[in-house]
């Protein structure tokens, strides 16, 4: 039995007809055409489908769309603002944390969630905090470097310009 | 990978939850974080007609500590939120450690303590810690509430004491006695994202001003279909000061009552060996928390 669900994704409201057994990943990808969110294992193991719900990293392959009403959902498509990449996106690019790219949206959303919870993680906290995201290409170190760089403020324009203004 | 069809129900409060459960009985499944349920429904087998979502129920999501009654954790409270309560790390360290080891960050954000217990996997991480900390569960249903120790609640592989129409309401951990410490140690071949092969939780209470053991409890995990409360082994510790011989006797007693399986991951014999090491390690860590140094 399908029902209309109101979803708030990347600060925009969406009204979608969904069946109870549709996951948030499927709705976002197939019904809303936002294919940035990837599916790998579809059972919680790989992290490719990671999105933010109310600021924290969730696995959209094991989240029901009907259960996501009234929550603030952010997908990879929601990070770029006014043509400018989010610091973590920029860092992943520059530190070469991308190769084939299938894990990348999940890695980035997971890093966002980690930094929301812990803005200055240690290297060890980054390694543990990113352990839910599998990557078969990069060997992880470059991903960790990118998260570390963002945590250290290297990609924080505002901070730099504020510091400059003082 | 698609989920089978079902009807989704989101009760507004526990009263509505109880009536939905009594209406739909065995045809319904409770959905909390979904990290076990939805994964299981994606593979052939589990096909509930109704999925009842309790994740929005504030009544089941609280985590409250009271210096008299102890720590009461709502069954739908998220693993991450429990870990973040300072009192959990301070007074219930074994529980904190058992949660820290679960899955990855996303799983702890989504998954609940009630889900970890009700799923009743022999390899679940929190049950041994809860058993060693003498936790009790409150079960609610149309006929009223019942309370029982965690080791009685978990009946077998994927079996609990829940009867038709009942749900798990909360988990209560008593206030640990003064001078007590606890620890959870587990063995996995890889670091994370993998289930434990053997697990042990220990709580010790020491006499005031001296290092004699006043009381102890030991729980063994993954070496049987349910966590085993090793009371006879723990009793050997009472009234003693720790020594290598004493701990060897205790860990041997634990190995003797364990019933590990033989499988492709490890032989039963190997699991028993590891179990003994874990008993000693977990004891040491719990003991040091109180005594300040090793034996
Ligand atoms: C990738 C991955 C890694 C994992 N790693 C670990 C690990 O390292 N250690 C570990 O122990 N577990 C692990 N798990 C299993 C799982 O995440 C945990 O068991 C989690 O605590 C389940 O909680 P949940 O809220 O998601 O439960 P759900 O999936 O929502 O529910 C689990 C079961 O309990 C029932 N249930 C839930 N709440 C209640 C209630 N209040 N009353 C009655 N029945 C109820 C449900 O009907 C269902 O049968 C992992 C899972 C995944 C996908
Ligand atoms: S696709 Fe969701 S965790 Fe792998
Ligand atoms: S870049 Fe290929 S899997 Fe990570």
Residue B87 belongs to a domain: yes
**pLDDT exceeds 90 at position A145:** yes
pLDDT at B150 over 50: yes
State how far the Cα of A38 lies from the Cα of A47, in Å rounded to an integer: 9
More confident residue, B167 or B196: B167
Q: Would B203 be classed as within a structural domain? A: yes
pTM of the model: 0.96
* B122 and B214 share one domain: no
* Nearest atom in ligand 3 to A101's CA: 1
B212 and B246 housed in the same domain: yes
Atom number of ligand 3 nearest to Cα A143: 4
- B8: closest chain A residue by CA: A20
| B295 within some domain | no
H helices, E strands: number in chain A: 6, 5
| Cα atoms in the Cβ-side hemisphere of radius 13 Å centred on B271 | 23
Which helix (H) or strand (E) segment is B174 a member of?
none
Q: Tell me whether A73 touches chain B (CB under 8 Å).
A: no
* Within-domain flag for B263: yes
Determine the average pLDDT of the residues in B50-65: 98
Specify whether B259 is located in the same domain as B208.
Answer: yes
Mean pLDDT across B18-38: 96
Q: Which two tokens stand for residue B237?
A: 């510790």
- Count of structural domains, chain B: 3
Q: How many angstroms separate the most distant Cα atoms in chain A? A: 59
Rounded to the nearest whole angstrom, what is the distance from the C-alpha of residue A40 to the centroid of ligand 2? Answer: 5
- Does residue B191 register a pLDDT over 80? no
- Report residue A76: phi and psi, to 5°: -55, -30
3-state SS assignment for residue B87? helix
State whether B244 and B149 are in the same domain.
no
Same structural domain for residues B211 and B281? yes
Handedness of CA B237, B239, B244, B245 (dihedral sign): negative
Q: Which ligand is nearest to the CA of B34?
A: 1
- Measure the CA–CA gap between B71 and B67, rounded to whole angstroms: 8
d(Cα A163, Cα B292) in Å, to the nearest integer?
45
Closest by Cβ to B8, choosing from A57, A59, A64: A64
Q: Is the CB of A139 under 6 A from ligand 3?
A: no
Neighbours of B121 (CB within 10 A): 16
Q: Name the 3-class secondary structure at B26.
A: helix
Percent of chain B whose pLDDT exceeds 70: 98
The predicted pLDDT at position B142 comes to 77
> CATH number for the domain including B41?
3.30.43.10
What's the mean pLDDT when you consider all of chain A? 94
d(CA A131, CA A113): 13
- The pLDDT of residue B266 is 87
CATH number at residue B86: 3.30.465.10
Please indicate whether, in this complex, the C-beta atoms of A64 and B104 are within 8 angstroms of each other: no
Residue where one domain finishes, among candidates B145, B173, B201:
B173
| Contact call for A42 and B42, based on CB within 8 A | yes
Q: Find out whether B1 and B39 touch, Cβ atoms under 8 Å.
A: no
Out of B149, B173, B197, pick the residue that ends a domain: B173
**Average pLDDT estimate for B12-17:** 96
Average pLDDT over residues B221-248: 96
* pLDDT tens string B97-113: 999 999 899 999 999 99
What letter does residue B125 receive in the DSSP assignment? S
| Closest listed residue to residue A50, CA positions, set A27, A73, A66, A83 | A73
Cβ-based neighbours of B133, under 8 Å, separated by 6 or more: B92, B94, B95, B173, B174, B176, B182, B201, B203, B217
Instruction: Answer yes or no: is B2 within a domain.
Output: no
Q: Output phi, psi for B166, to 5 deg.
A: -100, 160
Same domain membership, residue B108 and residue B32:
no
Residue B1 belongs to a domain: no
Does B8 score more than 60 pLDDT? Answer: yes
DSSP state of A61: G
The secondary structure of residue B177, as a DSSP letter, is P
* pLDDT average, residue stretch A49-72: 98
Provide, rounded to the nearest whole percent, the portion of chain A with pLDDT above 70: 95
Q: What is the CATH number of the domain that holds B267?
A: 3.30.390.50
Query: Which domain covers residue B48, as residue numbers?
Result: 7-53
Phi, psi dihedral angles at A79 (to 5 degrees): -85, -40
| B62 in Cβ contact with B138 (< 8 Å) | no
What pLDDT was estimated at residue A162? 43
Could you tell me which chain B residue has the CA closest to the CA of A39? B1
| pLDDT exceeds 70 at position A163 | no
Given a contact cutoff of 8 angstroms between Cβ atoms, the answer to whether B78 and B108 are in contact is yes
- Structural domains of chain A in order of their starting residue, each with its CATH number: 3-78 (3.10.20.30), 87-151 (1.10.150.120)
One domain for residues B200 and B270: yes
Q: What is the dihedral of CA B151, B155, B160, B163, to 10 degrees?
A: -110
Whole-number Å distance between alpha carbons of B205 and B175: 12
Residue B258 domain-assigned?
Answer: yes
Query: Token pair of A117, please?
Result: 């919870």
| B237 within 8 A of B205, measured Cβ to Cβ | no
Is it the case that residue B248 has pLDDT exceeding 90? yes
Q: How far apart are CA B217 and CA A118, in angstroms?
A: 35
Among A1, A66, A132, whose Cβ lies nearest the Cβ of B103?
A: A132
Based on the fold, state whether residues B190 and B165 are members of the same structural domain. Answer: no
Last residue of a domain, one of B173, B208, B233: B173
Instruction: Flag whether B272 is in a domain.
Output: yes
Say whether residue B238 is in contact with chain A using an 8 A CB cutoff: no
Same domain? B163 vs B71:
yes
pLDDT bucket at B193, cuts 50 / 70 / 90: low
Beta bridge partners of B216: B204
Residue B16 has pLDDT above 70, yes or no: yes
Interface predicted TM-score (ipTM) of this complex, two decimals: 0.94
Residue A123 pLDDT > 60, yes or no? yes
Cβ–ligand 1 distance for B150 under 6 Å, the answer no
Hey, is B175 helix, strand or coil?
Answer: coil
């Amino acid at each position: 039995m399908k029902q209309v669900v109101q979803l708030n994704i990347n600060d925009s409201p969406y009204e979608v007809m969904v069946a109870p057994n549709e996951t948030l990943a499927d709705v976002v990808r197939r019904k809303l055409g936002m294919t940035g969110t990837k599916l790998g294992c579809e059972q919680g193991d790989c992290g490719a489908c990671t999105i933010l719900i109310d600021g924290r990293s969730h696995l959209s392959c094991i989240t029901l769309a009907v259960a996501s009403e009234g929550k603030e959902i952010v997908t990879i498509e929601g990070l770029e603002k006014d043509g400018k990449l989010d610091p973590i996106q920029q860092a992943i690019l520059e530190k070469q944390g991308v190769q084939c790219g299938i894990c990348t949206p999940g890695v980035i959303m997971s890093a966002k969630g980690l930094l929301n919870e812990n803005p200055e993680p240690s290297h060890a906290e980054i390694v543990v905090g990113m352990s839910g995201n599998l990557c078969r290409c990069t060997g992880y170190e470059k991903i960790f470097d990118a998260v570390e760089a963002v945590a250290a403020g290297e990609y924080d324009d505002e901070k730099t310009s504020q510091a400059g203004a003082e | 990978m698609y989920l089978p069809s079902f009807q989704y129900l989101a009760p507004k409060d526990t009263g509505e939850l109880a009536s939905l459960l009594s209406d739909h009985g065995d045809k319904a499944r409770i959905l909390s974080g979904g990290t076990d349920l939805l994964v299981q429904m994606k593979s052939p087998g589990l096909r509930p007609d109704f999925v009842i979502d309790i994740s929005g129920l504030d009544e089941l999501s609280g985590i409250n500590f009271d210096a008299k009654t102890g720590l009461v954790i709502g069954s739908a409270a998220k693993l991450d939120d429990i870990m973040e309560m300072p009192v959990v790390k301070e007074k219930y360290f074994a529980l904190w450690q058992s949660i820290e080891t679960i899955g990855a960050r996303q799983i702890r954000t989504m998954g609940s303590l009630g889900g970890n217990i009700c799923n009743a996997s022999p390899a679940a991480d929190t049950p041994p810690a809860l058993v060693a900390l003498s936790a009790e569960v409150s079960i609610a249903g149309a006929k009223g509430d019942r309370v029982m120790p965690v080791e009685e609640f978990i009946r077998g592989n994927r079996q609990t004491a829940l009867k038709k129409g009942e749900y798990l309401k909360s988990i209560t951990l008593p206030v640990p006695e003064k001078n007590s410490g606890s620890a959870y140690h587990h063995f996995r071949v890889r670091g994370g994202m993998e289930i434990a092969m053997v697990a042990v939780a220990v709580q010790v209470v020491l006499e005031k001003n001296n290092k004699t053991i006043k009381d102890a409890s030991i729980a063994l995990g993954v070496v049987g279909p349910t966590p085993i409360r090793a009371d006879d082994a723990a009793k050997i510790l009472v009234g003693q000061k720790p020594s290598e011989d004493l701990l060897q006797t205790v860990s041997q007693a634990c190995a003797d009552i364990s019933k590990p399986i033989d499988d492709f991951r490890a032989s039963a014999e190997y699991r028993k060996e590891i179990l003994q090491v874990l008993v000693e390690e977990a004891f040491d860590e719990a003991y040091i928390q109180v005594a300040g140094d090793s034996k």
